[in-house]
Amino acid sequence: MNGIAAAPKAQFRAGKVRVALWPTQKISAETPPFNITVERRQENGEYSGVLLPEDIVKAILTLKRANDYLNSSQKLKWQEETTDEVRAPERIP
C-alpha cells in the first residue's frame, strides 16, 4: 500500500468534477491527515486528473466544500480533545 486508503473519507461533486479526501497513514507529526484529488468523470465513467476550462468553477466550488469539511473536522477534533480539560469556573456563594 502506498499510504492511500482504498476508499475516500469524503467526496464532493459538482457536475463531472469530484474532489476526494483520502486518509493517509500517519508516519510523523508532519504527515497531513489527507491526500486530496481533483478529478473529472470522463464519458466512459472513469475519472481523470485532466480538467476542461469549463470545469474550473466547479473545481473551485468542490475544493471550497472540501476545505470547509476539513476545517469543521479539525475544529470538532480540537473540541473533543479539549472537552475534559476545559471546565466552567466554580461559583462562589
pLDDT band at 16 (very low <50, low <70, confident <90, very high): very high
Residue 28: its pLDDT value, please? 77
For the chain, domain boundaries: 10-82
- Checking if the pLDDT of 84 tops 50, the result is no
- Checking if the pLDDT of 92 tops 80, the result is no
Residue 34: its pLDDT value, please? 84
Residue 6: its pLDDT value, please? 77
What whole-number distance in Å separates Cα of residue 63 and Cα of residue 18? Answer: 9
Residues 6 or more apart whose CB falls under 8 angstroms from that of 63 comprise 12, 19, 38
- Checking if the pLDDT of 73 tops 80, the result is no
- Checking if the pLDDT of 32 tops 70, the result is yes
1 versus 66: which is more confidently predicted?
A: 66
- Checking if the pLDDT of 86 tops 80, the result is no
